Structure 1
Amino acid sequence: MSSLEDIIDETIGEVRTDSLDLSFGEIVNLYSSKELVIQPEYQRLFRWTDEQKSRLIESIVLELPIPQIFVIETSDTVFELIDGLQRVSSVIQFIDPKALKLEPLVLEGCDLVKELNGISFEDLSLRLRLKIKRSSVRTVVIKRQSKSFLRYAMFKRLNTGGEILDPQEIRNCSARMVGDDGIRFYSFIQRKASHPAFINCIETLAQVEKDRKGDEELVLRFLAAKNAQHMFKGSVRDWLDDYLEKIILKEIDFDFESEEQQFDKIFTFLSNALGEGAFVKYRGEKPIGGLAPAYYEAITVGTLNALDKIRNVPTDRVKQKVIDTVQTEEFRNYTGSGANKREKLQGRINTIKDALLGLVNE
């Protein structure tokens, strides 16, 4: 039986990393020559304000420490940036804005050297331009020989503690870390989020949530509610993280063809029956508010579980039954206080299912 020390040593050996100091001039050249890739799926460009970018440039000029960045070495030895996008993209925009197809960065908000404000890269003296380009940042390279699970775990740990990425963005990027299996599932989520019937049904999702990949999270949430109710322990984020992880690491089977057929079938039905107000609360016949996640889980999975028997029921009767059911005391008991419990998740799904099955005998 291996000792704890042996297990730790073995795990360390499975992570292949290298460290080097890259100058910002080298980083700009690597990006321009496509030897450094910034995937838009990883981090949406430029959440930093011009003031935040400017203060980074000020720090470089003053030779203040810059946090290290992380890249992963792909199969063709290209570097793919997985942590540090805000810093890297800010420097690229300052030195060579055309590379990012952006306007030149004019410094503002510098408070240590206020004389930098109002200045662009071209305004600087040759000495200062070279100083910035020759300044370096420690770069940790995760080698392509590293095990896929450890690449996944490393990315997840790098990003879950910060505010750069939203939960679904972290999931998407983490999936890419695994390799082909992760990319396949991530692509599936993206494809289903762009299905016209699904888009129609989630029309009431706030734009700010869509900007945070909330539509893709709803695809994953439907799959988890349908397939993994037993994994739900109270935290939606942990539930979705765990379900995704088990799929991309192939700890559970995921039948892509069958899942796609069921997804298309249920959202096409719901789009025709309920339309844009599919997952909102009601007061009488009047829809109120935006998309309610608990209603979304209940109506999607509850309807799916009854679909074979209610397929020929007129859609207006289905819509009315859903509107009536979500206003019942029974349903509200499953969606109100303490809704994030497994028994309440199952209860609200079954309430919708049973109500719709009742249409068959009416």
Structure 2
Amino acid sequence: MSDSTTAPEARLVQDMIPVELDETGFSTGVEREDIGERIDSPFDPDLIEVQTRNPTVGLLLNRIRRGTIDLAPDFQRRAGIWTLKAQSRLIESLLLRITLPTLYAAEGEDDTWAIVDGIQRLSTIARFVAPEDIDSEPLRLTGLEYLTEFNGYVFTDLPGRLQTRIEETELVVLLIRRGTPEEVKFNIFARINTGGRALTRQELRHALIPGPARAFLADLARSDAFRRATGESVSPERMSDREMCLRFLAFTLTPPDAYASGDFDDFLRKAMHQVNDADSHERDALRERFLKAMDAGSAVFGEHAFRKRFRGTGRRSPVNKALFEAQSVTLSGYTTPEIELLAARRAQVEEGFLGLMEDAAFFNAVSAGTGDIGKVRLRFRLLDEMFREVLSA
């Protein structure tokens, strides 16, 4: 980008911004990111322990009952993705002895399993056989293709032999053992395609790092302040909204000048563990700072908060994750009078930001290789300098 960029050229650049897609192929309202991650050293294959298990449905339900299977119910294909007909057809497959796809799980402490792929399948089986174990209404079969005589049935309506058939059905579980390093687990699961698509990094973090951070991130993403600041344009599908909230927390807990990872995914995983380890007072303080940042973003940038802006076009770009973290964390460090002054001088802020977008180094820092240490520090520094110039004008 440069000062000589014309309005048509700006619109062309804006039109070429790629976006993330949800389950159905529609835009999530978030710019697709080139984070520029790399593996600095190869994994030691001796540290990777993967086992294939063949537990019966009954054994898996016992694990759910005892709390040793973590279904992370709002992860991946959440409630409502599968229709009653689709769930019923899965039960019909069990009755017809049709083999189900492999379940993928990671072993945690105390022999717990976190299901990474297969949550909807396992939840459907539990809803049919033992709905009380997952606090669900019983699944009543509908739309069966072959065993139509069982339409309208719940589990207890089936003949005893068919109940036994389901309970004794063996499922295939690929289990990543507890001793496997966390970064290796993430690398393995990142290679798994589910339903023809790869899991997002935040979906993996949600599945493999249980604890209070899950609900905390969901709470932040559902807040009125976040939705208002992002123009309610960020879809919760694929958990992009929660990842943005996590990025704010990560750079609040570890200031940009102290960011020295280079492995951005590892940086975010560590932040999620930090949130898990925080006490309720610390999380409350983080929540207050986050909400303040969202209100500040709305006040200072209006409908263009956390988005690229181009001179010569008033169109709104998708939310950019790198800008989200840089703008929100930087603004959260200012006093209320300073934020009010920036909001009062919004025209000057806009002009300053347009100037940054025409700076090739800044544009590159929010567009490509965004996890690079130098680019992270540069985008935070230049934004802060721009705000300070407006404040001192």
TM-score, length of structure 1 as denominator length: 0.66
Q: Match of 2:29?
A: none
Larger mean CA deviation between 336-345 and 114-123 belongs to 336-345
**Is the 2:103–2:117 contact (alpha carbons within 8 Å) kept by the matching residues of 1?**
yes
What is the rounded CA distance, in whole Å, between the counterparts of 1:266 and 1:126 in structure 2?
55
**Is the 2:50–2:174 contact (alpha carbons within 8 Å) kept by the matching residues of 1?**
yes
Helix, strand or coil for the counterpart of 1:340?
A: coil
How large is the RMSD of aligned CA atoms in angstroms? Answer: 4.9
- 1:192-211 map, 5 Å: 193=220, 199=226, 202-206=229-233, 209-211=235-237
Q: Match of 1:180?
A: none
What is the rounded CA distance, in whole Å, between the counterparts of 1:345 and 1:144 in structure 2?
33
Match of 1:124 among 122, 147, 158: 158
| 1:231-256 residue CA offsets vs partner (Å, 9 max, x unmatched) | 89xxxxxx853643687899xxxxx9
Aligned residues: 332
**Is the 2:256–2:376 contact (alpha carbons within 8 Å) kept by the matching residues of 1?**
no
Match of 2:132 among 98, 109, 113: 98
Q: Match of 1:66?
A: 100
Distance change in 2, residues 1:321/1:109 (3 Å) = farther
Larger mean CA deviation between 152-161 and 123-132 belongs to 152-161
Match of 2:55 among 10, 22, 25: 22
Distance change in 2, residues 1:153/1:164 (3 Å) = closer
- Is there any run of 5+ residues in structure 2 with no aligned partner, and where? 1-41
> In the alignment, is residue 218 of structure 1 matched against residue 249 of structure 2?
no
Q: Which amino acid aligns with 2:341?
A: P
Higher-Rg structure is 1
Q: Which amino acid aligns with 1:358?
A: E
Aligned-pair CA distance for 1:90? 1.0
What is the rounded CA distance, in whole Å, between the counterparts of 2:138 and 2:218 in structure 1?
35
Distance change in 2, residues 1:147/1:302 (3 Å) = closer
Give the number of the structure with larger relative contact order, counting CA–CA contacts within 8 Å between residues 6 or more apart.
Answer: 2
Aligned-pair CA distance for 1:298? 5.6
> In the alignment, is residue 40 of structure 1 matched against residue 73 of structure 2?
yes
Aligned-pair CA distance for 1:60? 1.3
Distance change in 2, residues 1:175/1:336 (3 Å) = same
Q: Which amino acid aligns with 2:367?
A: N
| 1:116-136 residue CA offsets vs partner (Å, 9 max, x unmatched) | 444332332222222222221
Q: Match of 1:3?
A: none
Distance change in 2, residues 1:24/1:301 (3 Å) = closer
- 1:304-343 map, 5 Å: 307=334, 311=338, 314-326=341-353, 328=354, 331=357, 340-341=367-368
Distance change in 2, residues 1:279/1:106 (3 Å) = same
- Is there any run of 5+ residues in structure 1 with no aligned partner, and where? 1-6, 177-182, 233-238, 251-255
Q: Which amino acid aligns with 1:199?
A: F
| 1:135-167 residue CA offsets vs partner (Å, 9 max, x unmatched) | 211234443344444334333334678548544
